[in-house]
């Protein structure tokens, strides 16, 4: 494999992993009866037409069919991809849920 092929493979793997991060975020929102697009727009108001997010939302399942996604897992994944703005908004939602007595 030459360097150009290796570079392409690395980019494709990163994009696939990034899509998984978005899916984890979207499913976490669904599991907490939150709208993923609304939460995302609080962090990134200029990205209303985020195609990757729309794809991820289509792949979510009802919360009754999903496994629990711990708050710390979501925050770690967001941090791994440098989504600090989204992590901040998600943390605000977590704090609201804690005040309501909803476990994370």
CA–CA separation, 99 vs 93, rounded Å?
10
**Per-residue confidence (pLDDT) for residue 104, from 0 to 100:** 59
Tokens, residue 28: 């976490």
Check pLDDT > 70 for residue 13. Answer: yes
Tokens, residue 93: 């939602």
Q: Provide the whole-model pTM.
A: 0.86
pLDDT > 70: percent of the chain: 95
CA–CA separation, 14 vs 84, rounded Å?
18
- Domains held by the chain: number: 1
Provide DSSP, 35-93: -HHHHHHHH-TT-TT-HHHHHHHHH---GGGSPP--HHHHHHHHHHTT-HHHHHHHHHH
Tokens, residue 24: 């984890």
Check pLDDT > 80 for residue 99. Answer: no
Average pLDDT over residues 5-24: 86
- At 58-87, the pLDDT tens digits run 999 999 999 999 999 999 999 998 999 999
Task: Give me the domain span that covers residue 53.
Answer: 3-100
Check pLDDT > 80 for residue 98. Answer: no
**Per-residue confidence (pLDDT) for residue 14, from 0 to 100:** 78
Q: Are 60 and 9 in contact (CB under 8 A)?
A: no
- pLDDT, averaged across the chain: 90
């Amino acid at each position: 494999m030459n360097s150009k092929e290796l570079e392409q493979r690395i980019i494709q793997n990163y994009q696939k992993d990034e899509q998984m991060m978005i899916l984890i975020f979207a499913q976490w929102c669904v599991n907490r009866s939150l709208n993923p697009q609304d939460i995302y727009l609080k962090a990134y108001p200029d990205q209303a037409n985020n195609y990757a997010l729309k794809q991820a939302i289509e792949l979510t399942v009802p919360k009754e069919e999903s496994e629990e996604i711990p708050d710390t897992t979501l925050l770690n994944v967001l941090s791994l991809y440098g989504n600090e703005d989204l992590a901040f908004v998600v943390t605000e939602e977590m704090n609201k849920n804690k005040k309501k007595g909803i476990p994370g």
